[in-house]
């Protein structure tokens, strides 16, 4: 094989790889442009559906879940419009609020989980001391998250799959969601044992698995989807136990 022919084949191969990479990037861009608005609308739909649960006399769980859903909806909405706003102080501020809402609302799921366990018939979860104790834990987690994750938070812009958002400059182990989800999983296990309803535990494990995937490869596309499944599992459990 002559040198010129070999060089031609190498250039042709590089051209094919370049076209494949370009097409893949375009697909990713289209995926983000479609999925984040879809997640936003799905969360809104889930919030509207959860309003029907207000017919129950004990609706503190629904109120708390609506707060979490509001934070999730805002999170996906800001990522959806990040490219339209473009990089700058405004988008950084809007993204900073994403992390604030996350730290304020996610720990409330501890209270939700204990109330669900109590209504499912888990005896020790019905103890008033346990209920008030879970509020103490939730407020402690909120304080922990604000101090460790939000105060002094430095954000940097990042693009992924056609989306633009801000993320923390330094990323450590996300202890707040890990601790919260661990407590929810424990409650899910006791609910499963008490009424043979495994889906709260399953939803928590799905959320754990999805959020364990590296964001440098998957961004927040997968984590947003599994968070939706997680909240859906909690709402379905609420329908069952009330």
CATH number at residue 165: 1.20.1070
Determine the pLDDT at residue 159: 87
Q: Report, as an integer, the average pLDDT of 220-226.
A: 88
Query: Which stretches of 45-88 are assigned E, i.e. beta strand?
Result: none
* Beta carbons of 160 and 80 less than 8 angstroms apart: no
Residue 4 lies in a domain: no
Q: Write out the residue range of the structural domain in which residue 168 sits.
A: 31-241
Given a cut of 60, is residue 171 above it in pLDDT? yes
Residue 11 lies in a domain: no
Residue 23 lies in a domain: no
Residue 15 lies in a domain: no
Distance CA 184, CA 187 (A): 5
Q: How far is CA 115 from CA 27, 89, 109, 160, in A?
A: 43, 41, 10, 38
Copy the structure tokens of residue 111: 């209270």
Q: What is the DSSP letter of 168?
A: E
Residue 1 lies in a domain: no
Q: What is the DSSP letter of 123?
A: G
Determine the pLDDT at residue 87: 92
pLDDT > 70: percent of the chain:
86
Q: Report, as an integer, the average pLDDT of 14-35.
A: 52
Copy the structure tokens of residue 158: 């990042």
Distance CA 7, CA 172 (A): 46
* Beta carbons of 242 and 223 less than 8 angstroms apart: no
Residue 195 lies in a domain: yes
Q: Smallest Cα–Cα separation from 241: which of 122, 120, 117, 121?
A: 120
Residue 76 lies in a domain: yes
* Beta carbons of 165 and 99 less than 8 angstroms apart: no
Residue 18 lies in a domain: no
Q: Smallest Cα–Cα separation from 64: which of 53, 76, 78, 75?
A: 53
The mean pLDDT of the chain is: 85
Place of tokens 């909240």: 231
In which region does residue 163 sit, left (phi positive, over 0), alpha (psi from -120 to 50) or beta (all else)? beta
Domain count, the chain: 1
Determine the pLDDT at residue 29: 55
- 3-state DSSP helix/strand/coil % of the chain, to nearest 5: 80, 5, 15
Distance CA 108, CA 184 (A): 10
pLDDT level of residue 12 (50, 70, 90 thresholds): very low
């Amino acid at each position: 094989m002559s040198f010129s022919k070999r060089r031609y084949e190498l250039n042709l191969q590089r051209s094919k790889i370049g076209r494949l990479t370009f097409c893949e990037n375009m697909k990713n861009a289209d995926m983000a442009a479609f999925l984040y608005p879809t997640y936003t609308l799905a969360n809104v739909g889930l919030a509207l559906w959860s309003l029907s649960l207000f017919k129950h006399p004990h609706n503190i769980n629904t109120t708390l879940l609506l707060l979490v859903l509001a934070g999730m909806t805002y999170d996906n909405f800001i990522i959806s419009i990040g490219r339209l706003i473009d990089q700058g102080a405004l988008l950084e501020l809007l993204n900073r609020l994403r992390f604030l809402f996350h730290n304020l609302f996610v720990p409330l799921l501890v209270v939700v989980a204990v109330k669900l366990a109590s209504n499912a018939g888990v005896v020790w979860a019905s103890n008033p001391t346990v209920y008030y104790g879970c509020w103490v834990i939730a407020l402690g987690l909120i304080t922990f998250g604000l101090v460790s994750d939000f105060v002094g938070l430095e954000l940097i812009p990042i693009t992924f799959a056609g989306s633009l958002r801000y993320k923390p400059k330094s990323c450590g182990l996300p202890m707040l969601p890990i601790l919260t989800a661990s407590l929810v999983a424990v409650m899910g296990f006791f609910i499963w044992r008490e009424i043979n309803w495994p889906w709260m535990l399953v939803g928590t494990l799905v959320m754990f698995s999805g959020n364990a995937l590296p964001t440098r490869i998957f961004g927040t596309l997968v984590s947003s989807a599994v968070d939706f499944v997680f909240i859906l599992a909690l709402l379905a459990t609420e329908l069952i136990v009330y």
